[in-house]
Every structure is written in structure tokens, then in C-alpha cells.
Amino acid sequence: MKRNSNSIGRVASYFQRGVTLLEVVLAIAVFTFGMLALAHLQSNIGRSSTDSNTRTVAVNIAEEIIERARNWKRLGADPNNPSTFPDVIYAFDDLSGTMTATVQRGGVDYNVTAEITDYYHDLDADPGVSFSPNDELGTGRPKFKVMEITVEWVSAEFLRGEGTDNENVGNLGSGGITVTDIIPSTSSLGSGKIVAADDGVPQGPPTAYNPGLAPDVIRLNIDGTRYKESSAPVPKVIRSGELSETWFDVVTYNLVNNEASFVRREEFVALSCQCTLRSPSGQGNDGLYPAIWTGVEYSIGADTIDDALVGKWHGESASNQQSIYCDVCCRDHHDGDSTSADQRYRANGGVPAGDHEHYDINLVLADSDGDDYVESCRLIRKDGFFRVAQDAQLDGFNAFPDFYLDGLGSTTYANYVVDAVEDYYNSSRTELLAPEDASAPWYNSYDFPANNSDGSDATDLPTGLGLTSQQLRARGIYLDHLGAEVATLINCMHPSGLNMSGPECGAPDATHWLEVYPFFDIQMTFLGFWREDSGADPVSVTDETVETDNSHSKGLAVLESDELASVIATSQVNTGNIGLSVTDKIYPSQDNEIAEADVHIDANGINGPPSPPTGTFYVGEINSSVGGVQAADAAIAGGSLGIICTRAQNEFTCIVEDGAPTPHLLRVSGYYKNANTDLWACTNNTTALTAPVYVQGPNKSTTWTLVNAAGTDVSGINITIQGSVCATP
């Protein structure tokens, strides 16, 4: 085949052509512009990084100054120790007006300006406005101060941006941030992130404190100048029909010449939760040891949280419709394999090794991964976080007519509490002795009104002022587990031990061994169950479902008729965590953990021992199988005259008195979840309890007729609140 040599030459010539000079120049220009853009980008990134770092340092400086300000060491200014801003804030009064300083960090100067405004109570202000920067009422020291800190900086690292007011000056230099916060008149010394320097003073700052008032708060005298008291518990209902949280504080303070100064506050919350059981993960970090009182503070059992994490069975919160603290309650309230009582949540009565048992709402054992169960915890605020403490243990329970604790009787009761706790420790007792106990060293020193078993000192209805109702009150004394660390500390301070002062023993703020002993007294009026033995004739005692802020009525004795009688009003409460959170029992043995106290009432002038009721007894239990509905909140009572019902947690006893008019009715009421949920109260005994009548509404109820023959007692009655229709007998 003949080839065209000219064509071949032209193709070869084309592929052998080089790059022209113009193309080279264009390529270099494109590359140069790209590199300049990249350099500009890198410059901007560097400036942005520097700016971000500078702003972070400025914020840190502002926060540090605020923390120093919060950690002031005295209220009034001390001319011998003037404040130095911003390094030292010595006194609350030193924080005033405008304060300036320059702080250097990383070669950059930060100019700091603090504007401080005082705020006072304004009692005449319109509703919703309670503080004012003007002390028009002459109240003296402000209640708090507002500190506005501005931090500005000059940096030589990068240029000002184009378009700024001083773009030709050279350096950026115009950055600044502002932080505003409140400095309260109660110091937070020791809680700030800036560690305060040791000034050689063992105690905290002299912060003013206003002691509580009886009968809600009882002042316990530790050594004549040091006192301890507990705030009245405030229940918080998270969802209708189920109490989840009860809050209260235990406060220690000095009292000299009627001027009180704060020493220490312990903040507690008791709650109930629905949880899901989880097996150990194998990583050794499933949950924490319990927080335990050391005599100086609460400790979580290790120097760091990570060290305190252990491998064990644990739990997860089973619902997002409950307390936010259920996460930590479900997770931690499990015992590991340790036999040490200091590392067990149920230190009193817990099994020697392994986890304590957990049960679901029907008291069925939860022992497998994924099983649901009910838990109740007591939490203590530790380093700003709530940690699960060892279970509360009620060791003393007393009830009174209201006039006693309203008057001088509050001092007598306070003296009894201190004497009883001292005797408990000194005599190595296993239980706290009651006021009237003949074996007590104070026997015949304490005689609380309306407490005598023979009713000889009964309180009157109507009262001496002619009132036909009287509020009854109950108080509980709690003794916590005595850990090894606090036991050593108490032995150092106790007269029978080394008898040394607090600082020498390692407790710088303590002046008496009772101050470091883990006990407190608390009002229980609105947390327990109340009943009367008269069937509301002639006296009834209220026992309403617990509501937020104690808006419910419990323990109000009301005269219902002119009948002459001696009546016993009784308050009952569980001795563990569920007594504080008003929860159904969470494990079977809690039936035996009930404390009760009586108040004897002389109705219409009869003075003498009350006669025990006689008649036909109905005995059983009331339980709930519905999540979010507690049997403890349901009321069980006679639906007609002459029927007396009492209960302790889930158990109940009803008596149809001899001669009571027919029909004899028994009513369960107050069980409720929400408007869209139908509930039924059903019984396993449809012979003695017949013809139930269901009432739907906000306070659902079921009424039965009691039909057994007079004098024939019935036991083993089970009443269950459930979400399905009762089975047909």
C-alpha cells in the first residue's frame, strides 16, 4: 500500500512542536496568583486562630476574677489588709465602684475594668421586682453585687482589618469581651475553681445566717454557741400521682449574742425512680461507691471520680418523665462485691457481699439484664453535683399537738434529741431510746404532751381557745452510718478519747464531737401517713395525697361531732429512703421498717385511756401494677359510719365496730394517672367485698359492701390498682 510521505511529515512535525513563551508566562502568572491566595488564606487562618486564642484567654481572666470575688474572706473591709485588684479580693465591702488593672498573659497585655453595682431589698417595689440598686430603705449592706468585667487587649500578631475606624494605625489592638455575674453576700469560699490561699484562719468567712423558726425548724444546741438545724422538707411532684423528689438542707451555724453566722450546709434530695437493670460491662466503670460523711465533708470513696468507679450491676433510668436525678440514682445505687459497710449503699441490713436485691412495682425480683425495677435514693450535693449517699435511717419518731412545738416545748424537744444522740453513741446502743424509756439516763426529764400511753395527758378538742381543729406534728431523728473515717475523728474529739479540739483532729471548723456526728432532726408532718382510731366520729385526721410545696393537708385533727371519746391519732412513716420520698415499698422486708407515733386526743372533755375498738376486722394489702401510680397515694377508708381503717405503707386494717349501722361500705379512692388512663381497683376476695361501684374522674374510687357475718374476721385481702377491667368472679 502506498503511503503519503507528506502527511506523515506534517503529523510528526505537529507532535514535535514546543511550548511558546506566552504560555509559560501565563502558567507562571496563574501559579503566582494561586500561591498568593493560599498565603493570604493561611494568614487569615493564623489571625483567626490568634484572635480565638486571645478571646479565650480574656474570658478566662474574667472568670478567674469573678471566682476570686466570690471567694471573699470577710464581709467588712479591713484597713490592715487592703484589697488588691484583681489578684486578691479580701472583703465583700471592698468590691465597690470601678476597679481597673492590667494583666499580662503570653506576652499580651489585657486591660481589665470592673464596674460593680450594689443591689438591696426593695420591699416597696411592685410585684415581681424585689431588688434595687438604691438603698432607699436604709437596709445597710447589699444583698448582692453585680460585677461587669470588660477585658480589652493589644496584640502585635496581626493587622487591623480594612474598613475599621483606625485601619492605618497598624496593629489590631481593639479586641474586647464583657462578662457579667452576681457576687452574693454569702461567700462560696472553697467551691470556686481558683484555690484560695491559706490565711491561717481555720474557719470560713463570717457569713450572716437567719435561723429557722419552730415548729417547722428545731434548733439543736451542740455546745452553747454552735447549732444545727434542718429545713422543712419540700416535696416536688414530677408527675401527677407520683412523688419523685423531697428537698431539705441541714445547716450548722454559730449563734453569739443573737447574731448567727453560717458554718456549713448539707443539701439533700430524696427521690424515687423507675430503672432498668444492667449487668456489669466488664470495663470496671459501671458506677460509683456511695458518698459517705467523713466528719468534714462527704466523700465518694476515692480521690477522683474515676478512681471511685467500679464494675458492678447498675441501672438506667427507665423513663424521661421522672426526676433528672434518676440517671445517677439508677446507675449508682448498687452494691458491688465489697464487704465494707463504708462502700455499701444499704450499710444497715445489707447483704455482706454482692448487690442488694431490686424489685419491680409488683415486688417481683428483678435479677436479669433488662428487668425493670423501682429504686429510691438519697442524694447529697458534692462539689456542685448530686451524688448518691448511703440510705437514710430513721431511728427516732415522735408526734405532738401543735401548741407544744410552737412554744417553749421546742427547746425541750431539742434537748431530748441531743441527749438521745449522745446516749446512743456513749452507750453503744443499737437504737435511739424514746423520751419515756425508763432505761434512759434522762428518765423523767422529758414528758411530751399527749404521748402517755394511758392518755392521761391528752390534748383537748375543742382546744382551750374553743377551736374545733388542731394541727398535729411529727418529727424524725436520722442517724447515718458511722464510717471508719468519721469514727476516728469522733474518737479524737470525744471526752472518752483523745479529747482534742477540732483543728488538732483534722476538723478545723468543728468545736464539738456532736458537730461531726452524722445525725439530723427533720419535720415529717407532711411526709407520713396519718389515721385516727375513731372512724371519724368524733375526730377525723386528714391524710391527703402529697402535693408540691406541702399544699396538702396531713395530721389536721378535726372535731366532727359532740360525742365524748378518747381518740388516738397515729402518724406512720417508713424508716428508709422511701419515708422521705413518700414512695410505695421497693422491697418486701420494708413491711417491718415502719416507725409510728401517737397523739392522744380528749374529744369533748373525756379524759382517760381510750378503749380499743371492737368489731369485725378486715386485713390485707393494697398495691399498684400501673407505672406512675402509687398505692401509697390511694386512700382506703370506711364508706359509712362505724368503720375504722388504718394503714402502714401497703398494708391496711379496717374494723367494722359492733353496732355500726348498715350498709357497711369500704372505699378506695384517689388513684389517678391522667385523664386518658382508665384505672380499676380490684380485689381477690369477692365474697366479703361485693358489688363494687366504680367512679371515674380526677379522684377515681371504688366502693364495696362488706357482707361477711359479724364477728368473723377476714384476712389476706388483696386490692390491686390495675389498668384492665377486674376479672369476673
CA 316 to centroid of chain Cα atoms: 19
DSSP string, 249-292: EEEEEEEETTEEEEEEEEEEEEEEEEEEEE---SSS-SEEPPBE
Are the CB atoms for 702 and 681 separated by under 8 Å? yes
Amino acid, res. 468: T
Are the CB atoms for 631 and 682 separated by under 8 Å? no
Are the CB atoms for 93 and 77 separated by under 8 Å? yes
> In the block, which residue shows the cell 480589652?
152
* CA dihedral for 674, 675, 677, 683, sign (positive or negative): positive
Contacts (Cβ under 8 Å, ≥6 apart) of 153: 54, 58, 108, 109, 110, 111, 173, 175, 176
Eight-class DSSP state of 84: B
* Mean pLDDT value across the chain: 80
* CA dihedral for 627, 630, 636, 639, sign (positive or negative): negative
pLDDT interval class at 621 (50, 70, 90): very high
- Cα distances (Å, whole numbers) of residue 621 to 9, 308, 544: 112, 41, 19
Give the model confidence (pLDDT) of 305-318 as tens digits: 555 678 889 999 99
Closest C-alpha among 193, 83, 94, 103 to residue 151: 103
Give the model confidence (pLDDT) of 676-711 as tens digits: 788 889 999 988 888 888 776 555 788 899 887 767
Q: What is the pTM of this model?
A: 0.70
Lowest mean per-residue pLDDT among 200-209, 500-509, 588-597, 610-619: 200-209
The total of other beta-carbon atoms located within 10 Å of residue 178's CB is 13
Contacts (Cβ under 8 Å, ≥6 apart) of 446: 412, 415, 416, 435, 436
**262 bridge partner residues:** 207, 253
> Which secondary-structure segment (H or E) carries 67?
helix 21-70
Q: Cell for 282?
A: 466488664
Amino acid, res. 114: A
Give the model confidence (pLDDT) of 403-449 as tens digits: 898 877 889 999 999 999 999 999 999 899 999 888 999 888 898 99
Lowest mean per-residue pLDDT among 132-141, 155-164, 485-494, 714-723: 155-164
Eight-class DSSP state of 504: H
pLDDT at residue 136 in the model: 54
pLDDT at residue 366 in the model: 95
**623 bridge partner residues:** 720
CA–CA gap between residue 318 and residue 320 (Å, rounded): 7
pLDDT at residue 8 in the model: 47
Share of the chain above pLDDT 70, in %: 81
CA–CA gap between residue 529 and residue 456 (Å, rounded): 25
Helix (H, G, I), strand (E, B) or coil at 213: coil
pLDDT at residue 720 in the model: 93
Q: Cell for 298?
A: 462527704
The total of other beta-carbon atoms located within 10 Å of residue 183's CB is 22
pLDDT interval class at 18 (50, 70, 90): low
Does the pLDDT value for residue 197 go beyond 50? no
Are the CB atoms for 68 and 88 separated by under 8 Å? yes
Give the model confidence (pLDDT) of 570-583 as tens digits: 999 999 999 998 88
CA–CA gap between residue 208 and residue 304 (Å, rounded): 33
pLDDT at residue 49 in the model: 54
Closest C-alpha among 402, 380, 407, 405 to residue 391: 380
The predicted model gives 40-46 an average pLDDT of 54
Q: Cell for 693?
A: 361501684
DSSP string, 406-460: HTTHHHHHHHHHHHHHHHHHHTT-SSPPPTT-TTSTTTTS---TT--TT-TTPEE
The predicted model gives 545-561 an average pLDDT of 87
Lowest mean per-residue pLDDT among 135-149, 538-552, 623-637, 704-718: 135-149
pLDDT interval class at 648 (50, 70, 90): confident
pLDDT at residue 440 in the model: 92
Max CA pair span of the chain: 145
Q: Cell for 84?
A: 488588691
Query: Which has the higher per-residue pLDDT, 164 or 664?
Result: 664
Helix (H, G, I), strand (E, B) or coil at 507: coil
Give the model confidence (pLDDT) of 650-659 as tens digits: 888 888 888 8
CA–CA gap between residue 123 and residue 141 (Å, rounded): 15
Lowest mean per-residue pLDDT among 237-241, 301-305, 462-466: 301-305
pLDDT at residue 523 in the model: 93
Share of the chain above pLDDT 90, in %: 28
CA–CA gap between residue 334 and residue 706 (Å, rounded): 44
Contacts (Cβ under 8 Å, ≥6 apart) of 303: none
Give the model confidence (pLDDT) of 595-604 as tens digits: 999 999 999 9
Eight-class DSSP state of 326: H
The total of other beta-carbon atoms located within 10 Å of residue 141's CB is 13
Does the pLDDT value for residue 718 go beyond 90? yes
- Cα distances (Å, whole numbers) of residue 162 to 157, 168, 171: 16, 9, 12
User: Phi, psi (5° rounding) for residue 209?
Assistant: -140, 140
pLDDT at residue 721 in the model: 92
Closest C-alpha among 5, 525, 446, 480 to residue 235: 525
